[in-house]
Amino acid sequence: MRTSSVALTALAEYTECDIRACLNTLQFLNKKKEMLNVLDISSQVIGRKDTSKSVFDIWKEIFQKRRLKGVRKSIDDCRSSFNEFTSLHSLVSNCGNYDLILDGIHENILQLNYHDPVMKKTVKCLHNLEISDILHQYVMRTQKMSLQVYQPAISIAIHGVVSQVEKPNIQWPKSFHRYRTSLIHKVEALHTWHNKITPCISRHISTKSFVADLVSPLLHILSPPTLR
């Protein structure tokens, strides 16, 4: 069986360098006396390993750009970009936990060493994250879950802006957990204070009305502005 180096490279990339899948595919095509077709390789590959990936792998794919090899440069750039788009879209869609993926992007994006002297790329990425938040809030409010299909495109857009060849140092997102812990602590402190008020006063003041109407004047009394 004869084939080109371009086809072999495409096969290795499609199977993610799984030697067993490559050999099984080549043996299968040899028995059928068929050639390895670069344009239709997805239908020819057999015996692929389990491609399920963790959320860390997804963040890595979003932040890291695949290094182009010499052989791959001979392939049409448009087709390569399409394959990269399809692969990343499939990863994010199969995960389904869009909130966690975008939380990880939000916390790790500023740790990347991408060239952005006028903050144009950063603003663009934050704008995409804002769109994701607005879309998520609308979906939760209206329960139109079908709109979630647009979430992977936001991750792909961010990938196109900040992805680098260097391996990123990815951390698990913790800001939401810290925010939730702090909120619970403050709410408990507020309820404790409210319970210590005498009943004749507390029955006229709820915790929500206290926060909305009394906190600002109280802080103004406790910490008055300077006279300068």
- Give the pLDDT of residue 77: 57
pLDDT digits (tens, 9 = 90+) for 10-45: 777 777 677 777 787 788 778 877 777 666 665 655
- Give the pLDDT of residue 74: 47
| Listed residue (33, 30, 27, 36) closest to 7, CA to CA | 36
Q: Does 72 score more than 50 pLDDT?
A: no
Q: What is the mean pLDDT of residues 173-196?
A: 84
- CATH tag, 53-174: 1.20.272
pLDDT digits (tens, 9 = 90+) for 206-221: 877 777 787 788 878 8
Q: What is the mean pLDDT of residues 180-194?
A: 85
Domain parsing of the chain, residue ranges: 1-51, 53-174, 185-222
Which residues make Cβ contacts (< 8 Å) with residue 107, sequence separation at least 6?
Answer: 171, 173, 174, 175
pLDDT digits (tens, 9 = 90+) for 104-138: 999 899 888 888 889 999 999 999 999 999 998 89
Distance in angstroms (rounded) separating the CA atoms of residues 118 and 225 = 37
- Give the pLDDT of residue 32: 77
Burial of 48 from C-beta contacts in 10 A (0-12 / 13-18 / 19+): middle
Which range has the worst mean pLDDT, 42-56, 115-129, 150-164?
42-56
Interhelix angle 77-95/98-108, rounded to 10 degrees, is 120
